[in-house]
Amino acid sequence: MIGRCYAHVIAILAAMVSACASAPPSVMSGEPNVAPVNYKTEILAYLRTYLNNPTGVREAFITEPSLITVGGTQRYVSCLRFNAKNSIGKYEGSKTRVVAFLSGRFDTLALARGEQCKDANWQPFPELEKLQR
């Protein structure tokens, strides 16, 4: 009976170790402030489902992620600005948003407040303008 218990424990531990081995290094280490590598790809994937109509986005700009203090905590954040269509196909006007990253991965998208993006070094984001459903 005890031998069978050890066999189950070893199997469970092996499964846990293999699951950890396949997780990204930032998740394994628990480090929240790992610089995002594929930030544009992750933002595009999110916006494809987030936007009411992801086609025909205009005036798309983005900043490279930088480490800033948000609510007393340091996070990598990227500023994002674009003009998208609403659910009836009308353009809503250009809005600035912030994208926060956690452990090197997309975490949150929110409207920018105050001067969060005032010193932004905007770069064209043509990939967003070419986005399809």
pLDDT in the model for residue 2: 42
Residue pLDDT, tens place only, 27-71: 445 688 899 999 999 999 999 999 988 999 999 999 999 998 877
Which residues contact residue 91 at a Cβ distance below 8 angstroms, ignoring those fewer than 6 apart?
A: 58, 83, 84, 85
Return the domain boundaries, the chain.
1-25, 31-129
pLDDT in the model for residue 30: 67
Residue 18: band (very low, low, confident or very high) from pLDDT cuts 50, 70, 90: very low
pLDDT in the model for residue 114: 87
Look at 1 and 61; give whichever has higher pLDDT: 61
In the structure encoding, which two tokens stand for residue 55, read together? Answer: 């086609």
What's the rounded Cα separation, in Å, for the pair 12 and 56? Answer: 49
What's the rounded Cα separation, in Å, for the pair 14 and 11? Answer: 5
Look at 129 and 4; give whichever has higher pLDDT: 129
Residue pLDDT, tens place only, 71-128: 788 999 999 999 999 888 899 999 999 999 999 999 999 999 988 898 899 999 999 9
